[in-house]
């Protein structure tokens, strides 16, 4: 445990330093308030701090006040040293935000006991900060997993729907175009029935990787379920969406799947947001386009 001692009186500072070192602590020293504050502003600095109340430069209570303002999940433990013995100086020390105080001249065993308490609390703070950090990153992972399709790594339906509501209302407010591409792999049941679900899953993954490669960063490519996919294209009119759909269709057709022994193709529907559309009506129209593509012989792009 590293402890910062800020004390302008050299004999006291040396005595404190030698005592704490003898008790097994690492010690950093500052001879005035400005030096102490400089050390505390370093990204890595002692969290256990013994501060003299009166020092040249920034005084003890002001350092505590500044520390309290900037510290986050990993607070400092501050012991203020006062010369006065009045109850008032004790109250002032604690009111300034200090955790504890000690009166000079101090008794060595009392100092040791108070530093031990500070050390214990600092370790608890550190353990707590570590747990908070782990909890926050776990929450982030859970948040991510809840929105990702496990097999393909694309957005799942929940993620699509959440983003769709936001993107649609923004498109409507700013009068920007918004298009959807609805996709269904052709005769996919035959792949599963003939070669099994493992091969079927590999085809779904290959197609998803192709989507990830071909869409822009702002597009939301999602697995809608089974062998159905949907792509949301903000700031895109239906002509550009249909051109992208055609590029995906032709790429998929031309790059035979390494997983499936026979060529798998896909059908595409494209629709653009129109006045009066809501989420449901736009999805209905893009699905109608997809059914038309299926009905007209599959492996094609139909725009409504
Ligand atoms: Mg002093």
Q: Tell how far the Cα of 121 is from the centroid of ligand 1, in angstroms.
A: 26
| Model pLDDT, residue 177 | 97
Instruction: Say yes or no: do domains 2-142 and 157-303 share a fold.
Output: no
Q: Which of 227, 239, 246, 279 is catalytic?
A: 227
Within 10 angstroms of residue 197's Cβ, the number of other Cβ atoms is: 11
- CATH, range 2-142: 3.40.50.2300
Q: Tell how far the Cα of 122 is from the centroid of ligand 1, in angstroms.
A: 25
Per DSSP, 259 falls in state S
Q: Tell how far the Cα of 193 is from the centroid of ligand 1, in angstroms.
A: 84
If residue 110 lies in a helix (H) or strand (E), which one and from where to where?
helix 108-145
Q: Tell how far the Cα of 56 is from the centroid of ligand 1, in angstroms.
A: 8
**155 contacts: CB under 8 Å, gap ≥ 6:** 147, 148, 149, 163, 220, 221, 222, 223
Q: Tell how far the Cα of 119 is from the centroid of ligand 1, in angstroms.
A: 23
Reported residue count of the chain is 304
Residue from 198, 194, 206 nearest 262 by CA? 194
Q: Tell how far the Cα of 207 is from the centroid of ligand 1, in angstroms.
A: 72
| Model pLDDT, residue 87 | 65
Instruction: Look at residue 30 and give its three-state secondary structure.
Output: strand
Rounded Cα–Cα distance for residues 245 and 242 (Å)? 5
Q: Tokens standing for 248?
A: 């995906």
Residues of the chain with pLDDT under 50: none
Q: Tell how far the Cα of 54 is from the centroid of ligand 1, in angstroms.
A: 4
| Model pLDDT, residue 115 | 96
Q: Are 85 and 7 in contact (CB under 8 A)?
A: no
| Model pLDDT, residue 283 | 97
| HEC letters along 171-219 | HHHHCCCEEEEEEEECCHHHHHHHHCHHHHHHHHHHHHHHHHHHCCCCC
**Does 227 participate in catalysis according to the annotation?**
yes
| Model pLDDT, residue 171 | 96
Rounded Cα–Cα distance for residues 91 and 121 (Å)? 21
In CATH terms, 157-303 corresponds, of 3.10.20.600, 3.20.20.140, 3.30.70.270, 3.90.1570.10, to: 3.30.70.270
Q: Which residue has the tokens 């400089």?
A: 38
Q: What confidence tens digit (pLDDT) does each residue in 97-129 have?
A: 999 989 888 899 999 999 999 999 999 999 998
| HEC letters along 40-100 | HCCCCCCCEEEEECCCCCCCHHHHHHHHHHHCCCCCCEEEEEECCCCHHHHHHHHHCCCCE
Question: What are the Cα distances from residue 36, in Å, to 4, 47, 112, 212?
Answer: 8, 12, 22, 53
Q: Tell how far the Cα of 93 is from the centroid of ligand 1, in angstroms.
A: 14
Q: Are 8 and 14 in contact (CB under 8 A)?
A: no
| Model pLDDT, residue 137 | 95
Q: Tell how far the Cα of 117 is from the centroid of ligand 1, in angstroms.
A: 23
Residues with C-beta atoms within 5 A of ion ligand 1: 8, 52, 54-55
For the chain, the domains span 2-142, 157-303
Q: Tell how far the Cα of 216 is from the centroid of ligand 1, in angstroms.
A: 63
Q: Tell how far the Cα of 85 is from the centroid of ligand 1, in angstroms.
A: 15
């Amino acid at each position: 445990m590293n402890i910062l001692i800020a004390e302008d009186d050299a004999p006291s500072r040396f005595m404190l330093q030698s005592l704490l070192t003898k008790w097994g602590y690492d010690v950093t020293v500052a001879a005035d308030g400005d030096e102490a504050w400089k050390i505390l502003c370093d990204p890595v600095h002692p969290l256990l701090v013994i501060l003299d109340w009166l020092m040249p430069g920034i005084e003890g209570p002001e350092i505590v006040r500044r520390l309290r303002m900037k510290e986050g999940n990993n607070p400092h433990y501050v012991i203020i040293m006062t010369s006065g013995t009045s109850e008032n100086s004790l109250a002032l020390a604690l009111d300034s935000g200090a955790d504890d105080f000690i009166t000079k001249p101090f008794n060595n065993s009392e100092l040791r006991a108070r530093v031990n308490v500070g050390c214990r609390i600092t370790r608890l703070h550190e353990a707590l900060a570590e747990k908070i950090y782990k909890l926050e990153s776990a929450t982030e992972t859970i948040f991510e997993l809840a929105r990702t399709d496990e097999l393909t790594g694309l957005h799942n339906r929940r993620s699509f729907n959440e983003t769709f509501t936001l993107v649609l209302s923004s498109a409507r407010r700013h009068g920007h175009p918004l298009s959807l591409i609805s996709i269904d792999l052709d005769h996919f049941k035959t792949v599963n029935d003939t070669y099994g679900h493992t091969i079927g899953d590999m085809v779904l993954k290959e197609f998803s990787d192709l989507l990830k490669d071909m869409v822009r960063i702002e597009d939301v490519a999602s697995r809608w379920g089974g062998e159905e996919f949907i792509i949301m294209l903000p700031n895109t009119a239906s002509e550009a969406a249909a051109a992208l759909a055609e590029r995906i269709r032709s790429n998929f057709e031309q790059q035979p799947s390494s997983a499936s022994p026979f060529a798998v193709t896909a059908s595409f529907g494209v629709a653009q947001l129109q006045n009066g559309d809501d989420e449901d009506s736009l999805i209905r129209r893009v699905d109608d386009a997809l059914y038309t593509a299926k009905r007209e012989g599959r492996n094609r792009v139909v725009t409504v």
